[in-house]
Homo-oligomer: A and B are copies of this chain.
Amino acid sequence: MVRMGEFELLARIRERLPANGPRIHLGSGDDAAVSLPGGATATSVDALVDGVHFRRQLASPAQIGHKALATALSDLAAMGAEPGEAYVVLGLPADFSEEECIELLDGMTALAADTGTALAGGDLSRARELFLAITVVGHSSDPQAFVDRGGARPGDVLVLTGELGGASAGLELLEDPALEASLTGGAAEELRARQLEPTPRLRAGRALAQAGATAMIDLSDGLGADAGHIAQSSGVELRIEAEAVPIATGAKALRAAGGSDPWTLLNGGEDYELLASVPPARLDEAIRAVHDKGGTALTQVGEVLAGSGVEIRLPDCRLLEPGGFDQLA
């Protein structure tokens, strides 16, 4: 159990929070935080539970804090929103010390500072297992500027930021450290970081929104499952060429060493890259914008067709089973 009481711990947490930005009129410590949105807001909530979304044995408290905020902000990235505020609920079990709690918040605060997010409020409770619930609010002057999942049109091209497979390969490596022998250079460290400290693609998401993305989603559950959400919301078919998808360095070697099909990396989930549809006339502009403003590569991985569902085509004319992560499974 944390040794100090709720109010003392809250006071200690508040001391460590960075100063609030100009949008916060009244910060943490009252009945509610008061902010001045000045436009449209995009709001998303995410739950992270020990044993489901992370494991305390495999991740440091700072990494758990980072990942919780990162996965929440990733939903704002997928809207093309500018991050604004985050609200944090922590369920603290008896064996989670007050130092671990501060370390967790420090991991979150560092990412908040990097992304321009204010930690504007929160709540603590005793719990049997460690859990976090993060609410993030993003902003835009115009609600039409947000990119939802429903605007993909036949003829659009499908684009993907960064690389896939790193997060699930990283988890494999954390669970079986002996697999590191199959990797060279700094690949192992990078794969673990993809699992433990994902980067929300906020700048890439805004660049894609400005470059005319018609639909967008972040890949949390796996390529097949998340592409399925765009296909369903937009009423279209998505066809993805597996060979076009960039795979994180070392991930295929690791999967081969572990004896499983490397293509399942695509559906491993938790990479938090963005999948978007873009009119073909704006593809070059999108690639340039994501490179220049988002600091990452944008790759064409497929196309949008009339129809329904998702087809992920493998090189030998096989199809990849959609698969994906179900939080209740």
Contact surface of A with B, Cβ cutoff 8 Å: 1-2, 4-7, 9, 25-26, 29-37, 40-49, 51-53, 75-76, 78-79, 81, 85, 87-92, 120-129, 131, 133, 135-138, 143, 146, 148-150, 216-218, 233, 326-329
Question: Contacts A2-B328, A326-B7; is A88 near B49 (CB within 8 Å)?
Answer: no
Task: Please state if B43 and A33 are interface contacts (CB–CB under 8 Å).
Answer: yes
Q: List chain B residues, Cβ under 8 A from A79.
A: 30-32, 34
Q: List chain B residues, Cβ under 8 A from A149.
A: 30-31
Task: Please state if A47 and B89 are interface contacts (CB–CB under 8 Å).
Answer: yes
Q: Which residue in chain B gives the minimum CB-CB distance to A132? A: B133
Task: Please state if B43 and A85 are interface contacts (CB–CB under 8 Å).
Answer: yes
Complex Cα distance A150/B135, Å? 26
* Subset of 19 A-B contacts with CB under 8 Å: A5-B326, A26-B146, A30-B150, A31-B42, A31-B75, A31-B149, A31-B218, A32-B44, A32-B76, A32-B78, A32-B79, A32-B81, A32-B138, A33-B42, A34-B40, A37-B40, A89-B133, A128-B129, A133-B133
State the 4 A-B residue pairs at the shortest beta-carbon distance, nearest first: A133-B133, A32-B42, A32-B44, A31-B78
Task: Please state if A40 and B35 are interface contacts (CB–CB under 8 Å).
Answer: yes
Task: Please state if B42 and A126 are interface contacts (CB–CB under 8 Å).
Answer: no
Q: List chain B residues, Cβ under 8 A from A51.
A: 128
Task: Please state if B91 and A5 are interface contacts (CB–CB under 8 Å).
Answer: no
Number of copies: 2
Q: List chain B residues, Cβ under 8 A from A36.
A: 40-41, 143
Q: Among B31, B76, B125, point to the contact of A53 (Cβ < 8 A).
A: B125
Task: Please state if A328 and B138 are interface contacts (CB–CB under 8 Å).
Answer: no
Secondary structure class of chain A's binding surface, majority of residues: strand
Q: List chain B residues, Cβ under 8 A from A4.
A: 328
Complex Cα distance A146/B89, Å? 23
Q: Measured between C-beta atoms, what is the minimum distance from A123 to chain B in Å?
A: 5
Task: Name the residue among A5, A47, A136, A149 with the largest chain B CB count within 10 angstroms.
Answer: A47
Task: Please state if A87 and B135 are interface contacts (CB–CB under 8 Å).
Answer: yes
Complex Cα distance A47/B122, Å? 9
Q: List chain B residues, Cβ under 8 A from A47.
A: 89-91, 123-125, 133
Task: Please state if A126 and B35 are interface contacts (CB–CB under 8 Å).
Answer: no
Q: List chain B residues, Cβ under 8 A from A126.
A: 49, 52, 327-329
Task: Please state if A25 and B40 are interface contacts (CB–CB under 8 Å).
Answer: yes
Complex Cα distance A216/B31, Å? 9
Complex Cα distance A79/B25, Å? 13
